A = this chain, B = another copy of it.
């Protein structure tokens, strides 16, 4: 039976063996929720990059550029880190370059060793679970966390995916079991469950409560973003 494991932050990724493992990166508030939304709304590709400079360089080549640091848009870029910004008609068919505090770093770390890298969010939970069932590989959910620390929303997502896949995958490791139990504890009211988390407090100070509510909705989209070379594209 295949295994599903959870890595609570990219700072623990060195403890995981990734050969023949599909890594699902989750940065619920808000990078991977943006990615899923953008690809669902017709964005052609999203290139995650580690630095603001790389993002700038792709912008000069004609990409729409999204750069977030500490939850705020970096000046001179085209897009902030709100999923609602990715619903724009101007982005249909476009290529986007994106760098964020935590999410794109996790993707960069994962792609060094994983057999495939996919992007997960509550927004595409069911589609992603179906895709993973149809693959032959073990799964590691990599929570982007916040500056190396575990966070609640990404752990809850990992738990949701573990719960969805528990009949097809073994949950052997404590991180996976803990995430699953936390999700089951909070699933009837995710918004309430994360209300006093550190990131929600941080985002609420920025007045983006609607991004939070939106990103906690399950199964809005059927899209599964997968990394092809340096680009995330919709799997089909």
A interface residues, Cβ below 8 angstroms from B: 8-9, 11-12, 14-15, 146-152, 155, 172-175, 177-178, 181-182, 185-186, 196-199
Contacts and interface: CB of A to CB of B under 8 A. Distances in A.
A68 B9 CA distance: 28
Nearest to A156: B178
20 contacts: A8-B8, A9-B12, A11-B11, A11-B14, A12-B12, A12-B150, A15-B147, A15-B148, A146-B174, A149-B173, A150-B174, A155-B174, A174-B197, A174-B198, A174-B199, A177-B196, A177-B198, A178-B178, A181-B185, A182-B182
- Lowest 6 A-B CB distances belong to which pairs? A152-B174, A151-B174, A15-B148, A174-B198, A174-B197, A185-B185
Contacts of A11: 11-12, 14-15
Which of A15, A150, A151, A185 counts the most chain B CB atoms within 10 A?
A150
Contacts of A8: 8, 150
B147 A173 contact: no
A198 B181 contact: no
Q: What DSSP secondary structure best describes chain A's contact surface?
A: helix
Nearest to A11: B12
A231 to B, nearest CB: 31
Interface centre among A9, A148, A186 (most CB of B within 10 A): A9
A29 B185 CA distance: 25
Contacts of A12: 9, 11-12, 148-150
Given A12-B12, A181-B185, A175 B150 contact: yes
A172 B198 CA distance: 6
A172 B148 CA distance: 16
A9 B15 CA distance: 12
Nearest to A153: B174
A193 to B, nearest CB: 8
A219 B181 CA distance: 26
Nearest to A154: B174
Given A15-B11, A147-B15, A149-B15, A178 B155 contact: yes
